[in-house]
Amino acid sequence: MNSNTIHKPQFFAGVVVLVATLLLGATFLGSEMLFFRMLVGLGLGYALMRSAMGFAGSANRAYNTGSTKLLRTLMFLFFISAVISGALTFVSGADAYGLWINQINLGLLLGGLMFGTGMAFCMCCASGVLTDMIEGPSRAILTLIFFGIGVYVGFPLQATQSWVTDTWFHTESYASGVYLPDLFTGDGLNGYLGALILTGVLCLLVCAGAKWYENKRRRENTYTGVPSEREQETAQVAALQDTSTAPVLSQNTLYRLFVKPWTLTMGAVVILLLFSCLMIVTKGGWGASTPYGHWFGRILLLFGVSIDSITAFTHQGAESFTAPFFSNAMNVQNVCIILGALVASLTMGKFTHQFREGLKISFKEVPVYIIGGLLMGIGTRLANGCNVGALYTPIANLSLSGWIYFVFLFSGGILGNIIKKRYFACCNK
């Protein structure tokens, strides 16, 4: 698409999808809280698609292209989210929020490694598989099916195994894990100053290491860059150089508002605002993966498996599988992430090309996505969360578990890319 042009049919289709979603949500969702979750989901999906941002890319882009821009942007997101979360809990008290202070145990380590490997295989994560329904539907559908199976199979492990349920370490405030403010109670701000300083130092260390690695790849001429990042940079430079004035409803203005790719930083800022709203309104964080196991259980019900068998196996309540689908807040939020991504893809004029290209899949790719989906699904149960439930939200909530998970997630991502590269090299011989 040429600069400053709008694909009008797709643009108006995107507007129609957005308006229809809002009207249907306002009419049929059963509560204001569900409608709020719908808005958050739409916002998350839109931001992830508009900025071409995803947690899986932190390892995948670094290994495959040498670019660590996304990884460094995520560190910015993590730190500012931790500042806001820390401020909220400092004012109201940690007890006022359902903080995700996760366990530190063998399950966390194995789960992070498995999820990272699966993330590399499928080129997406728990939230990314939803946005990929728009730009990579064949891969995303296959991944989501086996992701759901993995979560379902992992439910009994999550519920019964001590190496998943217990923690090696914990602090005074939380028996479930290590809450960083508990380590710095003499800092004058009830531990929050020390916790945020430590979080900032860890973010800076990751950024420094990432920048060193990227520069090394550039020196070795193995840096190729990421097409979406180049597109963002080009659009940003063009916007800064454009000094023309135009009417509010001009095509140029509409292009800037709805079509021009967001930078990764802009995407991170919007996600940060939405996460903050979740914290304030729901008193909890952002999760995505648990419903996938419930969705698979609903499919089993359709094929005649009894609800008693399902609940006995999963150790989950029957309501998770039998209650009206859109009465569950996370179901609403996840479905609306897909719709938000659809709106972004349409208004940017990219949907037709993205969807058509995303339908293509080769036979040799199928086992990679199946295995990757299973690894991610089971990994989420072992680690008690995914890229948002075990990584982003715990780090934002000042839990040490999030940083430990990050190390194993990223390591798994590199390992998965190495295995995937060798597999396709063997297939192409």
Look at residue 3 and tell me if it is in a domain: no
CA quadruple 147, 153, 158, 159: dihedral positive or negative? Answer: positive
Dihedrals φ, ψ of 250, to 5°? Answer: -70, 160
The answer to whether 264 touches 48, Cβ cutoff 8 Å, is: no
The C-alpha R_g of the chain, in whole angstroms, comes to: 21
Long-range Cβ pairs for the range 200-207 (8 Å, 24+): 200/79, 202/403, 203/75, 203/76, 203/78, 203/79, 204/75, 206/71, 206/72, 206/75, 207/71, 207/72, 207/75
Look at residue 40 and tell me if it is in a domain: yes
Look at residue 130 and tell me if it is in a domain: yes
Look at residue 73 and tell me if it is in a domain: yes
Give the domain extent around 261. 8-427
pLDDT for 30? 86
As a whole number of angstroms, the distance between CA 238 and CA 241 comes to 5
The answer to whether 156 touches 417, Cβ cutoff 8 Å, is: no
C-alpha dist (Å) from residue 165 to 105, 162, 188 = 8, 5, 33
Q: Quote the number of domains for the chain.
A: 1
C-alpha dist (Å) from residue 410 to 61, 270, 336, 387 = 11, 24, 28, 11
As a whole number of angstroms, the distance between CA 275 and CA 287 comes to 11
Look at residue 184 and tell me if it is in a domain: yes
Look at residue 1 and tell me if it is in a domain: no
pLDDT for 368? 97
Look at residue 2 and tell me if it is in a domain: no
- Spell out, as residue ranges, where the chain has pLDDT lower than 70: 1-3, 239-250
Secondary structure (3-state) at 263: coil
Model-level pTM? 0.95
pLDDT for 424? 94
Q: How many CB atoms lie within 10 A of CB 31?
A: 10
pLDDT in tens, 47-84: 999 999 989 889 999 999 999 999 999 999 999 999 99
